Amino acid sequence: MDYDVIIIGSGLSGLAAGIRLAQFDTRVLIVEKHTVAGGLNSYYVRKNRTFDVGLHAMTNYSKKGDRSSPLGKLLKQLRFRHEDFRLRQQHQSEIRFPGHSLSFTNEFEFFEAEVARQFPSQIDGFRKLVKIIEEFDELNLDDRRSLPSRPVLESCLSDPVFIDMLFCPLMFYGSAREREMDFYQFVIMFKSIFMQGLAKPEGGMKYILDLMVERYRKLGGELRLGAEVAAIDTAGGEVKAVTLAGGERLEVSKVISSVGYVETLLLTDPPCPGQESLERGQLSFMESLFVLGSPARDLGYDKSIVFFSTRLRFDYRVPEGLTDPASGVLCCPDNFDLPQVSGEGLLRLTSLANFALWDRLPRREYIQAKKEERARALDSLLTFFPDFRDSVLFLDSFTPKTIKKYTGHLNGAVYGAPNKIKSGATPIKNLYICGTDQGFLGIVGATLSGITIANLHVLKEWTGS
Amino acid sequence: MTVDEVREAILNILSDIAPDEDMSSIRDEENLRDQIDLDSMDFLDIVMELRKRFNIEVPEKDYEHLATMSGCVSYLQPLLKDRQLAS
């Protein structure tokens, strides 16, 4: 046996699982297809500037000393101090619809007061909903329970626009399903965004990924970059080995894969029956980055994140065209409590996008379409935001095709498949999944996913329980 | 290991798992969970640390013995009596 556990993918979930296992002297190897660590949340460098991808903001912010919050659990399980993550809080974010605006900060009372002021007829129902959310056990790993959110919201609230305004940020930051969310996911996202809050790590995703890689290696974990998995070899329905693209075969007891559920089953050799019938994720995004000559707030952008819809009803679905500019997310990293060094500003604009349409464009048309769709997204944004186009020093866009290339997710589906496998189990013995398709969402969620699966399927088994 | 050393070994584990908690105030007869903020994830870590540091396997049916400090000491001391408290 070459390793006790091989982890596929060095995103946050894979690294977190790796740290947990290496903490307890497991012979563990992480294999990463790309030459740098990172997954859905990562970074890239252009013209001497480092840009985060995935990370608009980290959700689930909680203060130092809170050990039972998701962030607190993550820190203690990986044995980091709160200050190690260098989290800097948001100023204020906003959900903006035609004629309606709801602001929120990292203090839930602020949001509640905002709801009472903007939607006085809904506040009693909102408090009822919050009570249901507080009492819900969203971290239960039982896969059999499934409850859609809309009926729950409609049992408390009567204003469809207010319901859509609540859905808007939660769907944009985590829903793999069109127009609907499983209620446990709604609860995870509601708590992580409204009740806990938003922050950014100083130094961005590169800092967090470097921190985790350094810890993992220090504990004796092995990480191979540029090592793509060709197959997960099984025999008699059980994992035997992992074969790398170069032909090297590594014998192993257990495999934890963070590449997605269907994506993992597609790697098994012989092929695992049944994956053809599984629903695949479809929801993807286009995002444009605008480097500005001055901080965004000088141009009239004072919010940290704005979730917007230019139509009264929000429609979260795969657009019929390349993108849907009618709604989106605007992120202003300048408007977090981060030190301002460069004097430059940055805006990031995200819209829903259609993978299949982007994927079939020939190269020349693809490049042209990026420019056109970016312009459409801007035109839509500028219907209720000040114009900043004269201040742009540098811009770049990525599409669902880029997301597929770097994350390996089928269809560039940012949040993976609609049906999550909370237990992490697969039909193959000793093959488990963690990350997006396990169902804990966001940066803290992904990290907790790796921790949970490592605990449940490896460490607990060794303790004989 | 003496009884006192076993107690110290457990305290060492607890301070690694909950670095922000004050271990000096622990009352041996009271439930650990009520005194320092421990959940089931922390409990797994205590068991894993015992395995790593002293090669002791604690079966799940015996977890109840680890509820208080004095319970931990009386359960673990017979298993650790021939061992040294490593630094």
Q: What is the pLDDT along chain A (465 residues), one digit of tens a residue?
A: 899 999 999 999 999 999 999 999 999 999 999 999 999 899 999 988 999 998 789 999 999 988 889 999 999 999 999 999 999 999 999 999 999 999 999 999 999 999 999 999 999 999 999 999 999 988 787 776 678 999 999 999 999 999 999 999 999 999 999 999 999 999 999 999 999 999 999 999 999 999 999 999 999 999 999 999 999 999 999 999 999 999 999 999 999 999 999 999 999 999 988 888 899 999 999 999 999 999 999 999 999 999 999 999 999 999 999 999 999 999 999 999 988 777 899 999 999 999 999 999 999 999 999 999 999 999 999 998 999 999 999 999 999 999 999 999 999 999 999 999 999 999 999 999 999 999 888 889 999 999 999 999 999 887 764
- Amino acid (1-letter code) at residue A331: C
User: For residue A10, what are the contacts with CB-CB under 8 A and spacing of at least 6?
Assistant: A18, A30, A32, A37, A38, A39, A213, A223, A225
Q: What is the pLDDT of residue A276?
A: 81
Q: How confident is the model at residue B38 (pLDDT cuts 50, 70, 90)?
A: confident
CA distance B52 to B32: 21
* A-B C-beta contacts closer than 8 Å: 45
Tokens of A60: 């689930």
CA distance A399 to A368: 12
CA distance A321 to A266: 29
Tokens of A406: 């770097």
Please give the mean pLDDT across all residues of chain A: 94
| Residue ranges covered by each domain of chain B | 3-21+32-80
Q: How many CB atoms lie within 10 A of CB A61?
A: 23
CB A40 within 8 A of CB A25: no
Q: Of the candidates A68, A79, A459, which has its C-beta nearest B44's C-beta?
A: A459
CB A333 within 8 A of CB A346: yes
CA distance A367 to A137: 46
User: A25 in contact with B at a CB cutoff of 8 Å?
Assistant: yes
Q: Has residue B14 got a pLDDT over 80?
A: yes
Per-residue DSSP letters for A94-114?
EEEETTEEEEE-S-HHHHHHH
From chain A, the residues in CB contact with B60 under 8 A are 463-465
CA distance A94 to A274: 43
Q: What is the pLDDT of residue A465?
A: 47
CA distance A458 to A279: 28
Q: Provide φ and ψ at A378, rounded to 5°.
A: -65, -45
Q: Of the candidates B19, B45, B52, which has its C-beta nearest A25's C-beta?
A: B52
Q: Tell me the residues of chain B between 11 and 70 that have a Cβ less than 8 Å away from chain A.
A: 16-20, 37, 39, 41-42, 44-45, 47-48, 51-52, 57-60, 63
- Amino acid (1-letter code) at residue A179: R
CA distance A270 to A363: 35
Q: What is the pLDDT of residue A464?
A: 61
CA atoms within 13 A on the CB side of A383: 17
CATH class of this structure's domain B3-21+32-80: mainly alpha
Q: Has residue B87 got a pLDDT over 60?
A: no
Q: Which helix (H) or strand (E) holds A307?
A: strand A305-309
Q: Give A281's DSSP letter.
A: P
Name the burial class of residue B20, with classes exposed (0-12), middle (13-18) and buried (19+) by CB atoms within 10 angstroms of its CB: middle
On the question of a cis peptide bond just before residue A270, with omega within 30 degrees of 0, the verdict is yes
From chain A, the residues in CB contact with B57 under 8 A are 463-464
Name the burial class of residue A445, with classes exposed (0-12), middle (13-18) and buried (19+) by CB atoms within 10 angstroms of its CB: buried
